[in-house]
């Protein structure tokens, strides 16, 4: 992809994040110099998207590893602190858990944490390289499945929120499927749901699609039924913040509604996410913590109040799509379809 600024960079010991709150109007870099900066950048959504906040967690721990006289207890506490920045996406806790393991190994091997920063930075970059390969693999699996269903042709694809390189590392997950199809000249049109209230669809997905010259329209969440009743969509691809053992999937608010409408009109609804988004400790979606965000994200638009004084809003940031409404879950290990605990465990190789 050309002309794309990386969402995350490590330069001279500083974590640089592309401020996604300012896109698409401004491309501004925020510098993180310590753990607190990394925590605030995740919490305030300078950086966002499940895989990317996981990687930010790794580099945030690398910043913390610069501190002197650390103990493993302090490192674990720092990881817990970073993990509390956003509760729904499991990737953050997953990557932070691996950082703590690395810290333990580092101490066992060298008797100190002096090489931990360097080890964590290499780990972070290795993860970004691996996710690029995984994203491409998932895109190929999705393309093959579409071709088996509809034949090899151009498709009309719908997506929600932002699952591109800004959220998921090189290529992206669900949006990576769209990029891959486009690079094979197999996209007729994309419908990107605007994704209220934070507008990841209109601000970020449209920004990425424009940079790649992929034909698309942004649509409002209220259009789901219109689009499918009028047969404008062949298939839907979304990402995931947490997929539990039975296949129930937490994703951006609106995903569950989209899946129900898709089921009603017989449009295949796919989830695309790496295995770092799977939570095998939870049996069903009812145990997934749902982040409640500030009501002002709904009541205000670009700093201007649009609701009457005294009005309040409820702002759950995610919902849980029932496994029954998902045609297939695509991870780097393969396609999980039908979506069931057995298939999920079989394809991922977990027990």
Instruction: Report the alpha-carbon distance of residue 54 to residue 89 in Å, rounded.
Output: 9
Residue 242 pairs in a beta bridge with: 250
Q: Is 135 exposed, middle or buried (0-12, 13-18, 19+ CB in 10 A)?
A: buried
Residue 57 per-residue DSSP state: H
Instruction: Report the alpha-carbon distance of residue 251 to residue 32 in Å, rounded.
Output: 27
Q: Which residues contact 130 (CB under 8 A, 6 or more apart)?
A: none
Instruction: Report the alpha-carbon distance of residue 64 to residue 50 in Å, rounded.
Output: 21
CB of 144 to ligand MRU, least distance (A): 22
CB of 317 to ligand MRU, least distance (A): 5
Residues that bind ligand MRU in the complex, under the rule CB under 6 A: 48-50, 161-163, 167-168, 173, 200, 238-241, 251-252, 317
What end-to-end distance do the CA atoms of the chain give, in Å?
A: 38
**Closer residue to ligand MRU, CB minimum distance, 46 or 103:** 46
Q: CB-side exposure of 169: number of CA atoms within 13 Å?
A: 23
Q: Could you confirm whether 241 is annotated as catalytic?
A: yes
Q: Which residue has the tokens 């394809």?
A: 347
Q: Which of 241, 248, 279, 319 is catalytic?
A: 241
Q: Which residue has the tokens 């990737």?
A: 91
**Closer residue to ligand MRU, CB minimum distance, 46 or 233:** 46
At 251, phi and psi to the nearest 5? -150, 180
Pairing of strands 14-18, 29-32: antiparallel
CB of 292 to ligand MRU, least distance (A): 12
**The two three-digit tokens of residue 219, written as one number:** 């649509």
**The two three-digit tokens of residue 179, written as one number:** 């990029």
**Closer residue to ligand MRU, CB minimum distance, 162 or 259:** 162
CB of 38 to ligand MRU, least distance (A): 15
E-assigned strands of 104-166?
155-160
CA distances, 138 to each of 143, 174, 181, 225, 271 (Å): 9, 9, 12, 28, 10
Q: Cα angle vertex 187, ends 177, 91, to 5°?
A: 15
At 142, phi and psi to the nearest 5? -65, -45
**Closer residue to ligand MRU, CB minimum distance, 118 or 294:** 294
CB of 318 to ligand MRU, least distance (A): 6
Instruction: Report the alpha-carbon distance of residue 92 to residue 347 in Å, rounded.
Output: 23
Instruction: Report the alpha-carbon distance of residue 88 to residue 281 in Å, rounded.
Output: 14
**The two three-digit tokens of residue 316, written as one number:** 């759950």
Catalytic residues: 241
């Amino acid at each position: 992809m050309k002309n794309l600024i990386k969402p995350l960079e490590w330069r001279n010991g500083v974590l640089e994040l592309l401020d996604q709150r300012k896109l698409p109007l401004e491309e501004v870099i925020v510098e993180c110099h310590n753990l607190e900066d990394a925590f605030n950048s995740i919490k305030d959504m300078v950086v966002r998207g499940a895989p990317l906040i996981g990687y930010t967690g790794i580099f945030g721990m690398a910043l913390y590893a610069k501190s002197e006289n650390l103990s493993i207890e302090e490192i674990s506490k720092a990881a817990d602190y970073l993990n509390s920045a956003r509760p729904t996406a499991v990737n953050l806790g997953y990557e932070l858990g691996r950082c703590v393991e690395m810290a333990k190994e580092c101490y066992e091997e060298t008797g100190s944490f002096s090489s931990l920063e360097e080890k964590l930075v290499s780990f972070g970059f290795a993860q970004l390289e691996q996710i690029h390969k995984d994203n491409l693999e998932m895109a190929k699996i999705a393309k093959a499945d579409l071709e088996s269903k509809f034949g090899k042709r151009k498709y009309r694809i719908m997506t929600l929120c932002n699952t591109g390189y800004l959220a998921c590392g090189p290529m992206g997950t669900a949006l990576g499927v769209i990029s891959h199809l486009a690079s094979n000249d197999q996209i007729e049109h994309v419908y990107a749901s605007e994704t209220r209230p934070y507008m990841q669809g209109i601000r970020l997905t449209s920004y990425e699609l424009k940079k790649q010259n992929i034909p698309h329209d942004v649509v409002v969440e209220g259009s789901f039924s219109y689009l499918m009743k009028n047969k404008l969509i062949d298939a839907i691809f979304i990402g995931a913040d947490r997929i539990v053992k039975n296949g129930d999937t937490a994703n951006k608010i609106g995903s569950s509604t989209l899946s129900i409408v898709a089921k009603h009109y017989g449009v295949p609804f796919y989830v695309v996410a790496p295995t770092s988004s799977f939570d095998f400790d939870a049996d069903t979606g009812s145990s997934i913590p749902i982040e409640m965000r500030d009501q002002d994200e709904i009541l205000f638009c670009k700093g201007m109040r649009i609701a009457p004084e005294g009005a309040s809003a409820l702002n759950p940031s995610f919902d849980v799509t029932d496994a029954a409404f998902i045609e297939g879950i695509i991870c780097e290990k393969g396609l999980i379809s039908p979506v069931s605990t057995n298939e999920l465990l079989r394809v991922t190789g977990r027990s």
